[in-house]
Amino acid sequence: MGISAKEVKELREQTGAGMMDCKKALTESGGDFEKAVDFLRTKGLAAAQKKQSRIAAEGTIGSYIHGGKIGVMVEVNCETDFVAKNADFKQFVKDVAMHVAAADPKFLKEENMDQNYLNREVEIYTAQLKEQGKPEKMIPKIVEGKLGKLAEEVCLYHQKFIKDTDKTINDLVNDITLKVGEKVAIRRFVKYNLGEGIEKRQDNLAEEVAKMSGK
């Protein structure tokens, strides 16, 4: 059955759990709101999300280098320096850095997606659907579904964890939050690919040299 954005929003407001977790809870419970609440409580997700309102200014910056070709840095915050030194927390940071290297996310969360990027995707999806002959009235709803799927592909928190595809990165955040007993949040990440952008600059240089030589 289809779960509406309104239902997800209402469950999120009541429990404080993440959007993806609320959507999953409603799906698992067949749309039954009370069962969805129980699902979140059983999983501990509501309790984990409550901790996310706290201030987390400690933590660490982790890194991962793959074969000297790919480099990743990720900042993960927690509430205390004590937890930042915790072995489980350190492993979590390492796992996130490795995931970023492999899954290549573009944004942190759905709400962080660049509007220009979204507008471009909407235009592409709309054009494709019109080309396929989809009814005009159905296109906005289909596009909305495609954007939700896109978020799962390009947003770090919504991606399936490379080492356990039954869990998302958001699930891992909730797990480590419950395990260490305080807020844990991925703040930002950056990925470097060796040589990225160099070829373009070389092409531009070649063009300039050709112009100077009169070719």
What are the beta bridge partners of residue 75? 61, 188
The pLDDT, as a whole number, for residue 138 is 87
The pLDDT, as a whole number, for residue 120 is 93
The pLDDT, as a whole number, for residue 133 is 86
Q: Which CATH number is 1-53's, of 1.10.260.40, 1.10.8.10, 3.30.470.10, 1.10.1330.10?
A: 1.10.8.10
The pLDDT, as a whole number, for residue 159 is 95
- pTM > 0.85: no
Distance CA 4, CA 15 (A): 17
- pLDDT per residue as tens digits for the range 86-96: 999 999 999 99
CATH of domain 58-113+155-215: 3.30.479.20
Q: Which residues of the chain have pLDDT under 70?
A: 1, 13-18, 41-53, 199-215
Distance CA 190, CA 96 (A): 12
